[in-house]
A and B are shown apart, each in its own frame.
Chain A
Amino acid sequence: MDILALLPQAGLNGLVIGAMYALMAIGFSLVFGTMRIVNFAHGEFYMIGSFVAFFTYAQWEVPFALTILIAIAVVGVAGAAIEWVVVRPLRTDELSSMIATLGVSVVLQNGALMFFGASPRPMPDVVSGLVHLGPAIFSASRIFVIVAATVVIGAFWLFMQKSRTGRAMRAVAQDQEAALLQGVDVERIFPFAFAIGVVLAAVAGVLMAPVFSVSPFVGATPMLKAFIVVILGGLGSIPGAVLGGLLIGMIESFGATFLGGVTADMLQLGVVIAILLVRPAGLMGRKEA
């Protein structure tokens, strides 16, 4: 194929993975922003989302919209429970809470390995066919992922802007003490924030399940990318997570197309470390003390 044909494909692929990274990074950033917790188990919720999609959609042939709702419910409850049991008692200690989420990650990943085995399971596309846009031809399933991710991010944004809980979360993220003084029940906000954060990861897992396959280890790469994205966009910054996600998605897609996958990966890490040097708080982050 010539370069002109590759460009739109690379761009579309960049949007697809960029949308996934954005979803992952928003959730990760939300948890960090409100609770000051680095969630090393974030990728496992992506993995759980993928498995929910596999069993409900591919095995039991539940409608896809319902699949998403089931994933949200399952992971939401699990997330709130983990916040309650594991994270809450350790919240005052940044390092301990971080290590505890490592423990959660190990348990979840190996639990999945024990129950479902290591072999990757393929999953059918949700929509099929091709879409012609001018001279370029795109697969409809990819476009579906982009549209669905945009809808979810939009819904999340509306939730954060309009709902009481969402506004309370933003207040807590901005200044916990001030939020307390304004009567925000911080203790009740935390499990919500944690649950919503990991639900976003799970939604990413559901949407991407047909693109990649489903296995206990699928969460590792998206989590690594989420880390890179939030460092790039600034820890705790939601717009930074969206922008960073798209940027990393594009770098990855174009890099992989024109330079090869490994070079693209190294390039990303290099770019992130360079950005940290110049702007330690990330592209859109607030300065940390």
Chain B
Amino acid sequence: MIGKTGLTVRLGLVIAASVVAAFVPGLLPNLFYVHIANLTLLSGIFALSLWIIYSVGQLSFGHAAFAGVGAYMSALLSMRLGVPPAIGVIIACLATAGMAVLLGAVILRLRGVYFVLVTFLFGQMFTLLALNWSDLTNGANGLISIPAITVGGFSFGPRPVFFYLAFAVFLAVLLFAWGLKRSTFGRAFDSIHQNIDLAESCGIDTARYQVIAFAIGSGIAGLGGALTAHYIRFVSPDTFTFHNSVAFITMLVVGGRSLFWGAVIGAAVITPLPELLRDFEGLQHIIYGAILILVLRTLPGGLISIPSVLRRKGGGR
């Protein structure tokens, strides 16, 4: 319920999570696990940002493209213009959000299926541009040796160090999503999601809020993409494809769409999965798809709905 989780509760959780996180890189057996943890945090950022868009009842099938725009933009700013990456990621975030406002204003009349199709096409357009605008993107080869993020001479390049940066940004996005959920915006978003006509009749400017949600979500995706580029130090048209958009959607569905926690849990479950299934190369993606269908069929509320499903079953007896 709104209001129950006040400022103090959230501060306490932040401190607790930070203390636990402080030890994570030291406790993981090797750098590979740290890398997985970093990717999971980045996925968490993407899934949360997609959830923000979903919270007004829209589903973006081109979410990875916005991440890709942020990645290319920040990488190019640092490589071509010498902009410090720490500033570049912020510019990338804002510019991506701005782009989403433009696209959103154009497609705001489109609901449901049409919105999905246009975001899908936007993703295709991004891939085409990244492949063919070679002067800028270096085509299929992509951009290599992207500089790491440094602040005051301190580099966030090494994996265990980047972990703290990724964790801080993830936590900030999580708290933002949480705050948004309980804010006046969150109330408007959820009203639109549940009953768009009634929301309009409550005086809520539904078109405006849908664009706002789309811009916030896409902007955060751009930020996540920029962070990814400076972390893996490489970006190509294959880094953010339709398959990544599908993966983000899968995280949302498997974790649970009704609450932002679902996005977090989905990212935590789905991201390490390919690594765990490494021995079953080839089968890996099939299992991915099968999980998606299975969750939709048997647990439409996602993993976060397990407690309430169990309670209902227990109470039914």
A, B in one complex: yes
Interface, chain A (partner B; CB < 8 A): 32, 38, 86, 89-90, 93-96, 98-100, 102-107, 109-111, 113-114, 224, 227-228, 231, 235, 262, 265-266, 269, 272-273, 276-277, 280, 288
Interface, chain B (partner A; CB < 8 A): 59, 106-107, 109-114, 116-118, 120-121, 124-125, 128-129, 131-132, 246, 249-250, 253, 282-286, 288-290, 292-293, 296-297, 300
* Contact between chains at B118 and A111 (CB < 8 Å): no
* Contact between chains at B289 and A99 (CB < 8 Å): no
A residues within 8 A CB of B131? Answer: 262
A residues within 8 A CB of B282? Answer: 110, 113-114
B residues within 8 A CB of A103? Answer: 289-290, 292-293, 296
A residues within 8 A CB of B285? Answer: 106-107, 109-110, 113
Decide yes or no: A94 and B293 within 8 Å by CB, A262-B132, A265-B128 being known contacts. Answer: no
B residues within 8 A CB of A111? Answer: 286
A96 to chain B, nearest CB (A): 5
Decide yes or no: A273 and B292 within 8 Å by CB, A96-B300, A99-B253, A280-B109 being known contacts. Answer: no
* Contact between chains at B296 and A90 (CB < 8 Å): yes
* Contact between chains at A280 and B128 (CB < 8 Å): no
Contact of B293 among A32, A100, A224, A227 (CB under 8 A): A100
B249 to chain A, nearest CB (A): 6
In the complex, what residue of chain B is closest to A96 when comparing beta carbons? Answer: B296
B residues within 8 A CB of A224? Answer: 124
B47 to chain A, nearest CB (A): 14
* Contact between chains at B286 and A110 (CB < 8 Å): yes
In the complex, what residue of chain A is closest to B110 when comparing beta carbons? Answer: A280
B11 to chain A, nearest CB (A): 35
B150 to chain A, nearest CB (A): 36
* Contact between chains at B292 and A99 (CB < 8 Å): yes
In the complex, what residue of chain A is closest to B298 when comparing beta carbons? Answer: A89
B residues within 8 A CB of A280? Answer: 109-110, 114
B297 to chain A, nearest CB (A): 6
A residues within 8 A CB of B284? Answer: 110
A108 to chain B, nearest CB (A): 8
A74 to chain B, nearest CB (A): 19
A residues within 8 A CB of B250? Answer: 99
CA distance A102 to B120 in the complex (A): 12
* Contact between chains at B289 and A104 (CB < 8 Å): yes
* Contact between chains at A227 and B117 (CB < 8 Å): yes
28 sample A-B contacts, Cβ–Cβ < 8 Å, listed by A number: A38-B116, A90-B296, A93-B300, A94-B113, A99-B253, A102-B246, A102-B292, A103-B290, A103-B292, A103-B293, A103-B296, A104-B289, A106-B292, A107-B289, A107-B290, A113-B282, A224-B124, A227-B117, A227-B121, A235-B114, A262-B128, A262-B132, A269-B121, A269-B128, A272-B121, A273-B121, A280-B110, A288-B111
